[in-house]
């Protein structure tokens, strides 16, 4: 792996130079842009591990640069640099998708710590993101976005239905009894009737099985339920 790449979008040349030197000393690959328009172009056409973005920029202000970047790139960490320690700036920036902010003047050690934290968090998130979506036959479930599709058709589920589906999928081809499903989906402290499982399985079947070529949720009499592709008619 090469060094992490950081883009500094900052119009004050002296500040940009100091940050660039400090980051290069820490082993980062660093480039700079002196206005919002050039920074936005550079941010969109090259890959970066983190972007330092000043709010007060010529041509295009930092909040607008942030908004446009986030419309296309939801993952690259962005730390805002602002000379104005005001709540509206911070709130607007965070609402538009900034990961963090730091107010000028700042200690370089604090900036370095925030950069390390953002990159570390993003790396962990990317690793989790690389986990493949859960799937069986023509059903696909993306746990991060909570998107469920079958034959490419989006299916709306309640939070409990979604959790139940994920548990069944994670244990596909295994027969699960009601007690197991209660414990994992409703929690250890659930003291209601285990028939709630049958009710929610029925809800799920209406949404992911009815109207499709074959069922995925199968009843195992006297035991519970199993999610699998049909080998033969039950």
Helix axes 87-95, 62-72, angle to 10 degrees: 20
Lowest mean pLDDT among 3-12, 48-57, 66-75: 66-75
Q: Does 30 score more than 90 pLDDT?
A: yes
Closest residue by Cα to residue 12 from 60, 85, 83, 107: 83
Question: Confidence class of residue 231 from pLDDT cuts 50, 70 and 90?
Answer: confident
What is residue 88's predicted lDDT score, i.e. its pLDDT?
77
- The CA distance from 63 to 92, in Å, is 8
Contact of 41 with 58, CB cutoff 8 Å = no
* Cβ–Cβ under 8 Å, residues 60 and 38: no
Q: What is the per-residue DSSP string for the chain?
A: --PPEEEEE-S-HHHHHHHHHHHHHTT-EEEEESSHHHHHHHHHHS--SEEEEESS-SSS-HHHHHHHHHHH-SSS-EEEEES---HHHHHHHHHTT-SEEEESS--HHHHHHHHHHHHHHHHHHHHHHTSPPEEETTEEEETTTTEEEETTEE----HHHHHHHHHHHHTTTS-EEHHHHIIIII-TT--S-THHHHHHHHHHHHHHTTTSSS-SEEEETTTEEEE---SS--
What pTM does this model have? 0.56
Q: 217 is written with which tokens? A: 């949720």
**232 has a pLDDT exceeding 80:** no
Give 203's Cβ-side CA count (13 Å radius).
16
- Phi and psi at 76, nearest 5°, equal -65, 125
Of 89-98, 106-115, 157-166, 205-214, give the lowest mean pLDDT range: 89-98
As assigned by CATH, the class of the 5-129 domain is alpha beta
Q: pLDDT tier at 234 (50, 70, 90 boundaries)?
A: very low
Which residues fall within 8 angstroms of residue 34, CB to CB, at 6 or more apart? 10, 11, 13, 16, 58
- The DSSP string of 5-62 is EEEEE-S-HHHHHHHHHHHHHTT-EEEEESSHHHHHHHHHHS--SEEEEESS-SSS-H
Q: Is the pLDDT of residue 219 over 90?
A: yes
Residue 208: per-residue pLDDT = 96
CATH architecture of the domain covering 134-227? Orthogonal Bundle (1.10)
Task: Report how far Cα 201 is from the mean position of its chain's Cα atoms.
Answer: 28
Pull the structure tokens for residue 92: 């607007």
Would you kindly state where each structural domain of the chain is located, as residue ranges? Answer: 5-129, 134-227
């Amino acid at each position: 792996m090469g060094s992490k790449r950081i883009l500094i979008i900052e119009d004050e040349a002296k500040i940009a130079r100091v940050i660039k030197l400090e980051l290069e000393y820490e082993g980062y690959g660093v480039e700079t842009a002196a206005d919002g328009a050039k920074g936005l172009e550079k941010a969109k056409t090259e890959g970066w591990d983190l972007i330092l973005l000043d709010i007060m920029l010529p041509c295009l202000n930092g909040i607008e640069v942030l908004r446009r970047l986030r419309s296309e790139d939801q993952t690259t960490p962005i730390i805002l640099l602002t000379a104005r320690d005001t709540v509206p700036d911070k709130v607007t920036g965070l609402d538009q998708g900034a990961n963090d902010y730091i107010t000028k003047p700042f200690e370089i050690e604090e900036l370095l710590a925030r950069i390390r934290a953002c990159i570390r968090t993003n790396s962990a998130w990317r690793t989790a993101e690389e986990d493949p979506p859960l799937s069986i036959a023509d059903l696909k479930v993306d746990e991060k976005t909570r998107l469920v599709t079958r034959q490419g058709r989006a299916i709306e589920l309640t939070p409990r239905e979604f959790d139940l589906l994920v548990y069944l999928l994670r244990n596909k081809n295994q027969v699960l009894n009601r007690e197991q499903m209660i414990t994992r989906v409703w929690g250890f402290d659930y003291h209601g009737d285990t028939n709630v499982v049958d009710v929610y399985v029925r809800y799920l079947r209406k949404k992911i099985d009815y109207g499709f070529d074959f069922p995925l949720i199968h009843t195992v009499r006297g035991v519970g339920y199993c999610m699998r592709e049909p080998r033969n008619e039950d």
